[in-house]
Amino acid sequence: MSTPPSLRGSTTSLPLPSPSPLARNSTDDLQELKDIEQEERQDEARIDPLAGVPELVTFVAEYELDRYDGLKLVADSVAQQRQVASRALISHPVNLAVFVAVLAAAVSQLYKTPADLPLVLTTFGGLSMVGLVAVRYLTGRYIFLAESINWEWLGDDTLLITKFGDQVIGALVLAWVSAEGKRRRKGGRGSIRAWTVKLKYRGKGVGTALLEEAAKLTGERGGECIEFAEDHARRIPP
């Protein structure tokens, strides 16, 4: 009771301090800048959705580096055919049936008691190796064909390539032959000696664009028609 009223503690709570107007304005400005940047990015995407994607072009290779990359792609494509042919031979139903029959004959001749099991398994491994060696021998010519693709093989033929940015992803070798099948520099018939696209770009229309460009070029040079050569680089060797 002796304490003056002015010095007594207040029982009422004070209101919370309001945020500074400067801090509130700074936050609003930052959010507004973010919104503007996002709108600008969306506008750029709507204007050019392919911005930054390398250019895809098909043309006649004139420079040595382009011609080298095109020939290398053709050679690699021929070498890859060995793997395709090997898988086809191994998985062919007739070949599988013959292999199983040979294994069954070996089992019937060798397995008499459980003690013969190691001999049977060793024979299985040996027969499998013989089969793989046979497949390797039958498909070995692809490597020789790939190694034969060089400047001499190309000669005066036209090399069309497709570039995705700086990378050559497709190639087509177009020769000119007469009605009698003799080689010539232009005119006559367009003969496709090689036609390939990198594996990861196949099925996307790159090969079709190469064929269309070859047909267009054949027409511009007075060619009668366009066809695949009997010895084109992707054929199955006899």
Domains, the chain, in order of start with CATH, read 65-147 (no CATH), 151-228 (3.40.630.30)
161-219 pLDDT, tens per residue? 999 888 999 999 998 887 665 665 556 788 899 999 998 898 888 999 999 999 998 88
pLDDT at 182: 60
CB atoms under 10 Å from CB of 21, counted, come to: 8
- pLDDT, tens digit (0-9, with 9 covering 90-100), for 71-105: 999 999 989 889 989 999 999 999 999 999 998 99
In whole numbers, what is the pLDDT of the chain averaged over residues?
A: 80
> Which DSSP string do the residues of 70-132 spell out, in sequence order?
HHHHHHHHHHHHHHHHHHHHHH-HHHHHHHHHHHHHHHHHH-SSGGGHHHHHHHHHHHHHHHH
